[in-house]
Structure 1
Amino acid sequence: MSKRVGLQTTIIVAMLSMIGPFTIDSVFPAFARIGVQFGASDAALQQITSIYLFSYAFASLFHGPISDSVGRKPVMVAGMAAFTLASIGCALAPSLAVLLVFRAVQGIFAGAAQIISRALVRDLYDGWQAQRVMAQVSMIFGIAPALAPVVGGWLLAIGDWEVIFFFLTGYAALLLALITFGLPESHPEEKRTPLQMGPIFANMRNVAADGPFARLAFASSLGFSAQFLYIAGAPIFIVRLLGLGERDFWVFFVPMITGMILGSYVNSRLAEWGHSQKVASIGLAIMLGAIALNLGLTSSPLATQLPWPIVGPALIAFGMSLAFPILQLTMLDLFPEKRGTAASLQSFVSLLLNALIAGVVIPAVSGTVFSMALASAAFGITAAGLWAWHLLVARRGA
């Protein structure tokens, strides 16, 4: 693969990875206006996020296995076309119920491109090159959660909340064109499996029952949840707990996403070093230190005084971003012939967990900044423990 084609593929995959954060985060500044128009409570508005994540999670079980059978590009093209139409439906929704229906449709098809793009990267690259590309994708991806709510705030200055969904429509149409004309097919016919539900479900069972896969899938998912708790809870954390406004989301997202980008950058620079497990362990150790700092700050008189409630989440994001690409690649390498299935199942675990966080955990723990820090700590500590368990079992096996 030439450098030009490789760079083009990396950029497109990174843009695909941004569709999820943009679909979730750009809508946050509009929650108050949607609530006023439809007479919805905070708990009802949280379902705008959670129903998207639930549908994304369950649909993600099938995107990867289907791509193992018919190829990566056909599934990505069909998914992004349907997502574009669903975004139009959201913009034209006359009630909260209809909006939630189209959010569910968005979730069903968003993963077709975002999830399969990970398998595509591993199809095209090996070893440290795969780690570097995944880290570069994570760097660009990291911009999205910081940029999306800011863009959402800007769009609200020129129109009402519907403008945000028309923006998502345009972005999805651009991605559809880039997939169609800019990405190679990375899964040749000779490597494809039969498109039959029996073998698909059998592959799912085999992957899901694998102990190392389960440990790595939950380690990466729970580690990301330590920071996603703050991302999904941003409307409550920023507006109600910190007392900021609908155009102040950048105060939180810029430092946090800077941490994500720096962590991914350091990972990419260390890729040729070759000690990927050590890098992941260092990243998770940094995350644990950040968790301890966050608990200390949020239990002190500085709990709601900027910048202190922002410091802990930003450092948590740095540590997890340093480890995340390695956890993902280690998991995919367990099943070289079923990478699509492995990527789908890991995404299912992560998205189901994130949907529960958005719809159940956040309403329960968002009373204070300290209670949010405690919940974040529980996710991060469990993730680090699972990674330590995986390393211990691997060394004993060796």
Structure 2
Amino acid sequence: MSDQSHGLGRREPIAEFVGMMAMSMAITALSVDIMLVALPDIAATFALHDANTQQFVVTVYMAAFATGHLVVGPLSDRIGRKPVLIGGFLVYAAGTVVAIVADSFTMLLLARVIQGLGASGPRVVAVAVVRDRYVGRAMSQIMSIVMMVFIVLPVIAPSLGSLLVMLGSWRPIFMFLLAFSLLVMAWIGLRLPETNPRTGAGVTPVPLGLAVMTILRSRETIGYTLSLGFIFGCLLTYIASAQQIFQDIYGIVTWFPAIFASVAGTMVLASLTNSLLVERVGMRRLSHGALISLVGTILIINVVHALVGVVPVALFVAFLAVCFYLVGIMLPNFNSMAMEPLGRIAGTGSSFVGFAMTGIGALLGGIVGQLYDGTAHPLFIGYAVYSVVSLLIVWVTERGKLMHATPQHNPTTA
């Protein structure tokens, strides 16, 4: 595994580095998944008449999160990673305080917007920091380990949310998020050194216009970012409507957190698989194979759904678990391939990839979520369309050659 030190001084242990990056990235997934069990209580508190309206607690957050990417990445290239990372946590904490005292649904959504804008800082900077130090398959391997750690929190988030709601309302959830964000911010502030060697006195940052042109001219960056957007759309389609599907179709309420955890937990296994195999097998062979398998799995479930109507709950959960596992293989590899050509502008590059992926995903997931009609039909169709489009984008990006190996990039030139 090639580690780029860039001549920096103090280096924290690799386990601590992974932990800090994982917690920084986990704040977003945690902020979404921990809310799922509280959505009915929020709807009741604010007397929401349309059950689908409660989904805006998720989709508004994700839209603001995507928008924040446009600022934080270029800023971290210019003034450094740590100031932007710490600033993001402070904005997130401010939004969380607003959520705690919200007395209307509009105020709660405003709080979620502030939270989302703040959370974009830790998410973007974490990827940029990893790219500052690693390249190619080594980056994918580190990202897999980071994802393996940070996914644990979202996996247990619905169960944690259920326990917090038992305290009397949904507000203790935001109190927990406030404490979590402040603790992680303090840890990183004390222990993480600046990793961007292109900031400081006597250093001229890459002009924003040149950085944007570099991104737009990279076939890999554009292609894999767009593909990530459609894959992320599948994830957000499920997250936005999961609570309603299990409650309305299968009558599952109490066991929903456990089912959600079992499905999302397969991404931990996927991250482990990728970290063990990517150096030997290669990013393209692993991720392209996973994408082709995802398309096949989704087409099969659509056929089953057309034949039997309501898919048995055991089969539905198994289908979701397979999908999450395959997506867990794709995410670190697609992200690494999109970021690989952008070493000199890792912050801006991470912003672009994150903004496009999250923005496209939030839009696509929101569309299918709002089409929820008491059946899983919109979810199955949405999955089919989004996965096929993602595969076509990768096919075009790779000029019709899938699952081929590519030579390792020299980390000294990245």
TM-score exceeds 0.5: yes
- Say if 2:12 is the partner of 1:8: no
For 1:317, the equivalent position in structure 2 comes to: 324
Aligned equivalents of 2:393 and 2:78: distance in 1?
32
RMSD over aligned Cα atoms: 2.5
Q: 1:6 to 1:152 in 2, by over 3 A?
A: same
For 1:72, the equivalent position in structure 2 comes to: 81
Q: Which amino acid aligns with 2:350?
A: A
- Say if 2:208 is the partner of 1:200: yes
Check conservation: 2:155, 2:264, Cα contact below 8 A.
Answer: yes
For 2:353, the equivalent position in structure 1 comes to: 346
For 1:303, the equivalent position in structure 2 comes to: 310
For 1:158, the equivalent position in structure 2 comes to: 167
Per-residue CA deviations over 1:360-397 (Å, capped at 9, x if unaligned) read: 32111454213311101111111122112222268999
- Say if 2:254 is the partner of 1:214: no
For 1:275, the equivalent position in structure 2 comes to: 282
For 2:272, the equivalent position in structure 1 comes to: 265
What is the CA distance between 1:228 and its match in structure 2? 2.6
Q: Which amino acid aligns with 2:159?
A: V
- Say if 2:261 is the partner of 1:254: yes
What SS class does the counterpart of residue 129 from structure 1 fall into?
A: helix
What is the CA distance between 1:169 and its match in structure 2? 0.4
Per-residue CA deviations over 1:103-130 (Å, capped at 9, x if unaligned) read: 1101111010112101101111234332
For 1:83, the equivalent position in structure 2 comes to: 92
Check conservation: 1:52, 1:104, Cα contact below 8 A.
Answer: yes
User: Which of 99-108 and 319-328 deviates more?
Assistant: 319-328
What is the CA distance between 1:10 and its match in structure 2? 0.5
Per-residue CA deviations over 1:165-206 (Å, capped at 9, x if unaligned) read: 10110111111112101222110245897579xx32552354
For 1:51, the equivalent position in structure 2 comes to: 60
For 2:411, the equivalent position in structure 1 comes to: none
What SS class does the counterpart of residue 392 from structure 1 fall into?
A: coil
For 1:336, the equivalent position in structure 2 comes to: 343
For 2:32, the equivalent position in structure 1 comes to: 24
- Say if 2:144 is the partner of 1:135: yes
What TM-score do the two structures reach when normalised by structure 1?
Answer: 0.92
Check conservation: 1:49, 1:358, Cα contact below 8 A.
Answer: no
For 1:293, the equivalent position in structure 2 comes to: 300
Give the unaligned 5+ runs of structure 1: none
Q: Which amino acid aligns with 1:34?
A: I
What is the CA distance between 1:4 and its match in structure 2? 6.1
| 1:145 pairs with one of 154, 164, 167 | 154
Aligned equivalents of 1:167 and 1:330: distance in 2?
35
What is the CA distance between 1:251 and its match in structure 2? 4.2
- Say if 2:200 is the partner of 1:187: no
Aligned equivalents of 2:205 and 2:98: distance in 1?
31
User: Which of 144-153 and 187-196 deviates more?
Assistant: 187-196
Per-residue CA deviations over 1:244-266 (Å, capped at 9, x if unaligned) read: 11x33224312321321111111
Q: 1:94 to 1:190 in 2, by over 3 A?
A: closer
What SS class does the counterpart of residue 299 from structure 1 fall into?
A: helix
Identity fraction in percent: 23
For 1:225, the equivalent position in structure 2 comes to: 233
| 2:362 pairs with one of 355, 359, 381 | 355
Aligned equivalents of 2:198 and 2:291: distance in 1?
39
Q: Which amino acid aligns with 2:95?
A: A
Aligned equivalents of 1:342 and 1:156: distance in 2?
39
Check conservation: 1:70, 1:195, Cα contact below 8 A.
Answer: no
For 1:33, the equivalent position in structure 2 comes to: 41
For 2:118, the equivalent position in structure 1 comes to: 109
Q: 1:153 to 1:302 in 2, by over 3 A?
A: farther
- Say if 2:130 is the partner of 1:121: yes
What SS class does the counterpart of residue 169 from structure 2 fall into?
A: coil
Q: 1:365 to 1:37 in 2, by over 3 A?
A: closer
Check conservation: 2:69, 2:120, Cα contact below 8 A.
Answer: yes
Check conservation: 2:235, 2:365, Cα contact below 8 A.
Answer: no
What SS class does the counterpart of residue 313 from structure 2 fall into?
A: coil
Aligned equivalents of 1:49 and 1:374: distance in 2?
21
For 1:381, the equivalent position in structure 2 comes to: 388
What is the CA distance between 1:271 and its match in structure 2? 2.6
Give the unaligned 5+ runs of structure 2: 408-414
What TM-score do the two structures reach when normalised by structure 2?
Answer: 0.88
